[in-house]
């Protein structure tokens, strides 16, 4: 969430795309791990009050999350890179759906159909628009395009296969860094920030700070500890 918010100061449309991606990831189930909205701040609190079966954890820490992540579920059904090595707090937001099922494909197909219909209605031909779009990426954003394809390809290859075999981790990291450098070289051409009226942000900011402070006081007076 912090990353997508910061992108508003660079490119508002890119920030919107990242934000919508986060929203979609929120509807996945614990096996796909959902989204940890306030990462890395959520990692500062490592304890939890009760486990997934409702048993008290017994921890004496004053600050802790309420519930443990469903350890037995994510250990059994999550992808290798999403499993936890030990029990951890439930920091993530999960929804009712798992990736690759009806809801996920419904969103994918609907978006594809919308793009086809929209371009056909506004540009006369989806194929002609797609051709111009690809040529635009190659001509004006070649480094960004290559960098994104390489970075995503390296990440998926590592997630699906390479981490399971004896592959040099430093080599993977170097390739990923090179991909990011290619993106950054041309990133200035995408500068299109959202202009803020900071006075309009002042009231919700003050309200949030005061509300959070009062909630901490309320929680401590009631339980003598902070359950997030």
Q: Which residue has the tokens 């059904």?
A: 77
Per-residue pLDDT at 51: 85
The per-residue pLDDT for range 93-124, each reduced to its tens digit, is 988 887 777 888 888 899 899 998 988 888 88
Q: Is the pLDDT of residue 153 over 90?
A: yes
Length of the chain: 228
Q: What Cα–Cα distance (Å) separates residue 202 from each residue in 5, 209, 211?
A: 16, 11, 14
The per-residue pLDDT for range 46-88, each reduced to its tens digit, is 889 888 888 887 777 788 898 998 888 888 888 777 788 888 8
Per-residue pLDDT at 178: 95
Per-residue pLDDT at 19: 92
Task: Give me the mean pLDDT over the 25-38 stretch.
Answer: 86
Domain ranges of the chain: 198-227
The per-residue pLDDT for range 169-186, each reduced to its tens digit, is 888 899 999 999 999 999
Maximum pairwise Cα distance, the chain = 66
CA distance 5 to 2: 5
- pLDDT tier for residue 227 given thresholds of 50, 70 and 90: confident
């Amino acid at each position: 969430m912090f990353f997508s918010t910061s992108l508003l100061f660079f490119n508002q449309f890119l920030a919107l795309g990242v934000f919508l991606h986060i929203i979609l990831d929120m509807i996945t189930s614990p096996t796909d791990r959902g989204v940890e909205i306030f990462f890395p701040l959520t990692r500062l609190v490592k304890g939890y009050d009760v486990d997934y079966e409702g048993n008290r954890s017994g921890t004496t820490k004053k600050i802790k999350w309420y519930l443990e992540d469903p350890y037995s579920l994510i250990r059994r059904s999550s992808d290798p890179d999403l499993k936890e090595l030990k029990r951890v707090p439930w920091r993530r937001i999960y929804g009712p759906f798992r990736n690759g099922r009806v809801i996920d494909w419904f969103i994918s197909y609907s978006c594809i159909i919308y793009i086809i219909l929209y371009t056909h209605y506004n540009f006369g031909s989806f194929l002609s628009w797609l051709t111009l779009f690809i040529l635009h990426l190659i001509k004006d954003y070649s480094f960004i395009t290559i960098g994104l394809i390489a970075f995503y390809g390296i990440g998926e290859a590592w997630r699906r296969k390479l981490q399971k075999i004896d592959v040099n981790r430093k080599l993977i990291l170097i390739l990923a860094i090179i991909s990011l450098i290619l993106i950054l070289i041309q990133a200035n051409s995408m500068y299109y920030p959202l202009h803020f009226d900071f006075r309009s942000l002042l009231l919700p900011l003050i309200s949030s700070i005061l509300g959070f402070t009062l909630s901490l006081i309320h929680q401590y007076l009631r339980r003598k500890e902070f359950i997030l």
